[in-house]
Amino acid sequence: MKKLINIIIVVISVFSITSCETDFTNINEPAEDQVLTSKAGLLGVSVGMTEHFATSTLSPIVEIPGLSTREFGNTLTYVTPGELVLGGSLLSNDNAGITRLWDRLLRDKGMAESILANVDAVEMEPGTKSGLKAYAKWFKAMTLGYLIQNFEQAPINNSLDGASLFNTRTEVLTECINLLESAKSDLAASPISDEFLGIIPNIDLPNVINAFLARYNLFAGNYNEAITAANTVSLTSISEWWYDGSTAKNPVWEFAFYNSPDTKPQDDFGLTGAYIPEANDGRRAFYLTPVNEFETDFGMHGVDNAAGFFDDAAKSIPVFLPGEMLLIKAEAYAMLNDLPNAVANLNLVREKTNDVYGVNAALGPWAGNANSQADILDEIFRNRSIELFMTGMRLEDSRRIHPSLVPPASGDYYNERNRNYYPYPFDERENNPNTPSDPAI
């Protein structure tokens, strides 16, 4: 265990050095060979990968698309968030936020790939190996998923020479699903050992794998498969990114709550018109603390203080929320034109009072037109925007559920989303000749 702790310290130190915002070279560099050729080393890499994602990568996953979809308002005039709030064709590909999002996801994906490339050659208990392989496959699928939620294409595999080939959205989502199915097979062949559970104690891996299978099958348009996967997830299962408030701090708290931040949640979850939450929606008080404060320029939207999972440096953040599984089923049924089942699952979210994390709307059943697929999908979008607030999901949700919405090319402070996908970072384009053309919006 002492050896493992030392390796973890080395891995985290490497991350700390190589993930600074001005260092974007060698992002595909594998871990040191000596770390990857022992059980303790591989377990240490998995912990370091987890630590880096939870404390570093999760921040831009939430903040960057949150600024583009009005979840967050900007109260100061810094260039990086200002460009993201403005959006449209005016968003530069050297925006530091976009670069952070891209760079950190690729780095974590590369660590998962390093584990998978070396684990079979290292002797360890079968249940430890299966847990490690399944965990790394889930991690790669998760990082790929967040990449394709924000960028039109992404490289499935990192390349040592930095010239990764890019893959289409369909190819990436197919790979995510294949990785997760393979992870399920690993765990079915050899149940996770107590040794591996001691290394990653706060992740219910079998439920997490099925939850992400439901998510990516929905994104891919595999609606029956999404329903099947969501049905296997225990809604009382808890999986969290853990923080101690000292050496490991909640990253959303750091940018959205701590020390009078420039980025704060918008009033009404950033929703407008028919999407504004009902006054007695219990999720208002869970996620938001009202204050009399407004953005500086940027549309002058009102902003609130963050609450819920984000108002303390030591608060844990869920890996996924149980309400997402119900909303996945609602949307999948709606897309299959099974409207009664769509409304039934939607109402399970609206009427929920026993959520394991306390995210409870405690409303009555939906009173809209249960015979209109479009109206049901709009209500699903509203509830995803509230239930899954500050999870980095809204850009994907808006683009998927409202595909006909066209973001304004000149920038806009009021549109539901101001981009469809982000431009590829300048540093990636400069170093990788395979980088595709940027999307127009």
In terms of pLDDT, which residue wins out, 299 or 430?
430
- Report pLDDT digits (tens) over 24-48: 344 444 445 668 999 999 999 999 9
Query: Model confidence at 131, in pLDDT bands (50, 70, 90)?
Result: very high
Q: What secondary structure letter does DSSP report for 390?
A: T
Q: What is d(CA 377, CA 383) in angstroms, rounded to the nearest whole number?
A: 10
Decide if 221 is inside a domain.
Answer: yes
Decide if 318 is inside a domain.
Answer: yes
Decide if 429 is inside a domain.
Answer: no
Decide if 427 is inside a domain.
Answer: no
How far CA 36 is from CA of 121, 310, 326, 366, 409, in Å, comes to 10, 35, 40, 53, 47
Query: Model confidence at 18, in pLDDT bands (50, 70, 90)?
Result: very low
Give the per-residue pLDDT at 262.
Answer: 87
Domain count, the chain: 1
Query: Model confidence at 187, in pLDDT bands (50, 70, 90)?
Result: very high
CATH code: domain of residue 301: 1.25.40.390
Give the per-residue pLDDT at 7.
Answer: 44
The model's pTM = 0.93
Query: Is the Cβ–Cβ distance between 313 and 254 less than 8 Å?
Result: yes
E strand or H helix at 341, and its extent?
helix 339-350
> Which domain covers residue 21, as residue numbers?
2-406
Q: Is the dihedral of CA 56, 90, 420, 432 positive or negative?
A: negative
How far CA 137 is from CA of 34, 130, 237, 298, in Å, comes to 22, 10, 20, 40
Decide if 420 is inside a domain.
Answer: no
Decide if 436 is inside a domain.
Answer: no
Decide if 414 is inside a domain.
Answer: no
Half-sphere exposure in the Cβ direction for 272 (13 Å, CA): 11
Residue 214 confidence (pLDDT) above 50 = yes
Q: CA angle, 97 as apex, 301 and 20 as ends, to 5°?
A: 140
270: which 2 tokens?
């950033």
Query: For the ranges 26-30, 161-165, 313-317, which has the lowest average pLDDT?
Result: 26-30
Q: What is the mean pLDDT of residues 122-144?
A: 98
Average pLDDT, the chain: 92
Decide if 327 is inside a domain.
Answer: yes
- Report pLDDT digits (tens) over 270-286: 999 999 999 999 999 99
Q: CA angle, 428 as apex, 425 and 431 as ends, to 5°?
A: 150
Q: What is d(CA 23, CA 17) in angstroms, rounded to the nearest whole number?
A: 9
- Report pLDDT digits (tens) over 61-91: 999 999 999 999 988 878 899 899 999 998 9
